[in-house]
Amino acid sequence: MIVVEALSKQFGRFQAVDEISFEVQRGEVLGFLGPNGAGKSTTMKMLTCYLPPTSGNAEVNGFSINSQPLQVQEQIGYLPESAPSYNEMQVEEFLTFIGEVRGFSGTELRRKVGRVLELTSLQDARKQIIDTLSKGFRQRTCLAQSLIHDPPVLILDEPTDGLDPNQKHEVRELIRRMSEERTILISTHILEEVEAVCSRALIISEGRLVGLGTPDELLSQSIYRNAVTLSVSGKSAEALLEDLNGLEQVYSVERLEDMPSGALTVRVFPKDRESISSELEQFLKKKKMVIEQFFVERGRLDEVFRNLTLGN
């Protein structure tokens, strides 16, 4: 479990992180979102005791980052942003090195190295020199390194960066599988990833926390929440637009490009982002329209992200 209390970091006059507070419980995957330079990596570096905070504190499984850095580091598996590793080493040798530094030896160490090689599907590359590996393999090597001591807390800075879609899927599966008995904090640019793996997401901008909630809670802030995109044929366009606008629950109607079949396509925004799908359906049936497409949106995270991070 991670508890962050008013954590701040200043570089000279630049306020990189400004009094951020949040908690991550065991069993949770918290997604850390924000534009480049928002302070995601800086926060992670403070949590892993690489950078000391200017003020504030954080506790990792009860250990303070200010006064018990070594204990904190024992708890954490950390994947830094650029996934660094010693290029001249072989994959297995590198993982063995990390295991040795963390205090393992003998058969236990060999077993742990074998396990993380398997978890990250690196068995076939274990004798390869890291320098000769592709970006995706290096990323996974560094991820494997963070798992070697089976840590209760994982801090992963852009874990799927540079991976192809299949590898991304694999890593997300791995994160989800591991999340049950662990506390996981991941940062990402990829918004779909938040919906795919995170139980909650936190959005920061210019060092400040601007949004926190489950993906669904964040999506409910979107103007696309419960908007319905529909394509119908059978009646002249203008009349339909007028009729839809006349409905009580409808906030506005936007005309989109017609379907190839010539069907009229519109997006209907509901008032107060309430669901209007059943009302719409009844209305269209009453008007004896042929529905070619009917699609209800959950909301768009990229739009919420832009709104929160670009200010008003």
Partner 1 sequence: MKGLFPIFKRELLAYFRSPVAYVFIIIFLAANAGCTFMLGNFYDSNQASLEVSFLFHPWLYLFLIPAVGMRLWAEERRSGTGELLLTLPVRTSVSVFGKFLAGWAFIAVALILTFPMIITVHYLGFPDNGPIITGYLGSFLMAGAYLAITSFTSALTKNQVISFILSVNICLILVLLGWGVLSEILNTIFPVWLTDVISQFSFTTHFDAIRRGVVDLRDIVYFLSIIIFMLMTNVVVLESKKAS
* Residues that bind partner 1 in the complex, under the rule CB under 8 A: 11-12, 45, 48-52, 70-71, 73-74, 76, 78, 80-82, 84-89, 97-98, 100-103, 142, 145
DSSP 163: -
Neighbour-count burial for 40-54, b at 16+ CB within 10 Å, e otherwise: bbbbbbbbbbebebe
Q: How many CB atoms neighbour CB 207 within 10 A?
A: 22
Nearer to partner 1, 98 or 284 (CB): 98
How far apart are the C-alpha atoms of 71 and 65, rounded to whole Å? Answer: 9
136, 170 Cβ separation under 8 angstroms: no
- Minimum distance from residue 145 beta carbon to partner 1 (Å): 7
Q: How far is the CB of 6 from partner 1 (least distance, A)?
A: 18
- The answer to whether 3 and 64 have CB atoms below 8 angstroms apart is no
Beta bridge partners of 24: 2
The residue among 31 and 53 lying less far from partner 1, judged by its C-beta, is 53
Q: Which is nearer to partner 1, 91 or 196 (CB)?
A: 91
Nearer to partner 1, 27 or 103 (CB): 103
Q: How far is the CB of 207 from partner 1 (least distance, A)?
A: 17
Residue 112, CA distances (Å) to 138, 145, 159, 201, 291 in order: 19, 10, 21, 31, 57
Closer by beta carbon to partner 1, 145 or else 179 = 145
d(CA 270, CA 249) in angstroms, rounded, equals 6
Measured at the CA of 263, the angle between CA 222 and CA 234, to 5 degrees, comes to 115
CB-side neighbour CA atoms (13 Å) of 241: 12
Q: How far is the CB of 44 from partner 1 (least distance, A)?
A: 10
Nearer to partner 1, 142 or 147 (CB): 142
DSSP secondary structure code for residue 126 in this structure: T
Least CB distance to partner 1 at residue 290 (A) = 59
For partner 1, the closer of residues 131 and 173 by Cβ is: 131
Signed CA dihedral, 61, 64, 65, 70: sign only: negative
